[in-house]
Amino acid sequence: MAGGRRGPLFAALLAAWVVAVAVAEAEADQEQAARPPERSLVRPMTASNWTLVMEGEWMLKFYAPWCPSCQQTDSEWETFAKNGEILQISVGKVDVIQEPGLSGRFFVTTLPAFFHAKDGIFRRYRGPGVYEDLQNYILEKKWQSVEPLTGWKSPASLTMSGMAGLFSISGKIWHLHNYFTVTLGVPAWCSYFFFVIATLIFGLFMGLVLVVISECLYLPFPRNLSEHSEQNLRSEKVHITEQLQDVEEEKDDSNEEENKDNLVDDEDEKEDLGYEEEAEEEEEDGPAAGVDEEKNEAQDPEPPREAREDEGPGEVGDDSLEQPGPAGTEAVGDSLRQRRSQHADKGPSA
């Protein structure tokens, strides 16, 4: 009897305990639901409010929801943002899927990407996204040793503004492609074909617009001015051709004169060579004749002394006159000198 009574009592107590636990959990859930969610101090940046980073000191994080590395640094980034008031720095984040224009303006190619901004001067932070490293980067002012983004690389430059426009257009095209393929269930090749046709039509339309703008801005010259300009061009062409012809004629004349001078010089050189050869021949003939006479005298026997004595002084004088002297060679040399002097006088005059 006692054992039978304890069983139902134990079951009733167990049921009461389970009900109490369930009620406590429900009350805790209600209290947690009634509490306002914890406010994040990381400010989302968009294309409309990104100019806020041009004033003060900021740290920006570029991320994507599907990026695992970005998800690993979310908690560290939230902690860094909570201590932003102590560090006197503002913390922001940019979703590259929702804001492709900003990713193009900062030319983000890897995720996650971190940037430091100080009074409109931007620097790329390449350290890990850990709270301690981020805190030391600000407190120790390590950003001063990093080269800033200047010139066309600056997000506020005109080139980066154009890059932002291109990235925003590409983002819209990507969303439209996903709408065709995922939402509507259109095959991918049909979507690509649609974009090709749209690109061709858009290009033709832009070309037509440029032609119309050029026609509107073009100011035609008066007909008289155009005819006058054509006449001036023709006269200039004729003048240039005449100058070219004159130059060619002068060249031909100079070439003819040079050829004539060369011919005259060649003839003079030939004459000089002929004169020199004649002089050499005469000089060679003179000594040779003297040698022959000496040989003949050596061969002729001398007459007896009596015959010599019989001969008078007149005959001896005749023999002395017949012997050739140096006067003949001197005459030949004088004639050669006269010819050379005449040739020299003719050369400059020619």
Dihedral angle over CA of 311, 316, 322, 328, nearest 10 = 170
Q: Assign residue 336 a region: left if phi > 0, alpha if psi is -120 to 50, beta otherwise?
A: alpha
Both tokens of 309, joined, read 């004595």
Task: Judge contact between 118 and 149, C-beta under 8 A.
Answer: no
Is there a catalytic annotation at residue 67? yes
Nearest-angstrom CA–CA distance, 115 and 92: 10
Task: Judge contact between 141 and 148, C-beta under 8 A.
Answer: no
Catalytic residue among 47, 54, 67, 173: 67
Residue with tokens 């030391």: 136
Nearest-angstrom CA–CA distance, 190 and 176: 13
- CA 241 to chain centroid, in Å, comes to 38
Catalytic residue among 60, 70, 96, 102: 70
Helices of type H across the chain? 2-34, 68-72, 74-82, 84-87, 100-105, 131-139, 158-178, 188-217, 223-299, 305-310, 313-322, 327-349
Handedness of CA 182, 183, 186, 191 (dihedral sign): negative
Nearest partner of 125 among 86, 79, 80, 189, judged by Cα: 80
Is there a catalytic annotation at residue 70? yes
Which residues 6+ apart lie within 8 Å of 97 measured at CB?
Answer: 64, 65, 171
Active-site positions? 67, 70
